[in-house]
Structure 1
Amino acid sequence: MGVTEEQFYNPDNFAVMPMGFCYPGKAKTGDLPPRKECAPLWHHVMWKAFTHVKLILLIGKYAQDGYLGKDGKRNLTENVRHHQEFLPKYFPLPHPSPVNRFWRIKHPWFEEEVVGVLQNYITKSIQ
């Protein structure tokens, strides 16, 4: 994101909200999906605590499916490639999990084109 550790951990700049609020357990190639009842049960409560939200990073396909709804009919790659269609509210991103390293290798345009756009949005939002 192009921010310092101090900027990232400043609660006036960033908040992290998982799609699930409990560890779902291990699968063969990573963790199991978040439990389906968690987001509908807790997200609306959590959003009340967040004020002055300027941008929501939808990190991973579960977050994109949960928040983009009908607008996010594409797969993760297409959501990320067409990130500008979801701005100014949402910015879809791949999950930074080591399991996804092959996705980043296969899609060099992400680093070349998308990361810079994200960094510009973040810089403008935390000033």
Structure 2
Amino acid sequence: MASRADVTNKYATAYAKASKTDKGVMLDEVVSVTGWSRDNARRRLVAAAKTPPGPGRAVATPVRKPRAPKFSYDAWKVLQKVWAASGGQSGKCPVVSMRAHVDALERHGELVEAKDRYSRAVRTELLSMSAASIDR
């Protein structure tokens, strides 16, 4: 038995050009060889016919370039401390009370500027975070 990819590539172009009755016969052959369902075999044949021919087969889809981080690493580390001090609430609660939490932690000496990654820039980042960013 040839590999499933070889079988798919062999039948793909012929399947795209075939009539409806011939497509049914080809699907029966692909299903019997690969063990796939008819729907899966049809989907794979159509997809293989659309891919351009070339040397070799792409093993994996290309990895998309990650988005640049909006907040600094320091802000995330301080956010973890603020989140723990607030009782581990979900993002909607801390976003409303972030200023109160940060002020309280500063007052009690837990957040001291130039110590443990905390600074005015980090404070500004924390106060500008949305609930979705906090939940991440």
Greater relative CO (CA pairs within 8 A, separation 6+)? 1
Bigger helix share: 2
Bigger strand share: 1
Query: Based on CA coordinates, which of the two structures has the bigger radius of gyration?
Result: 2
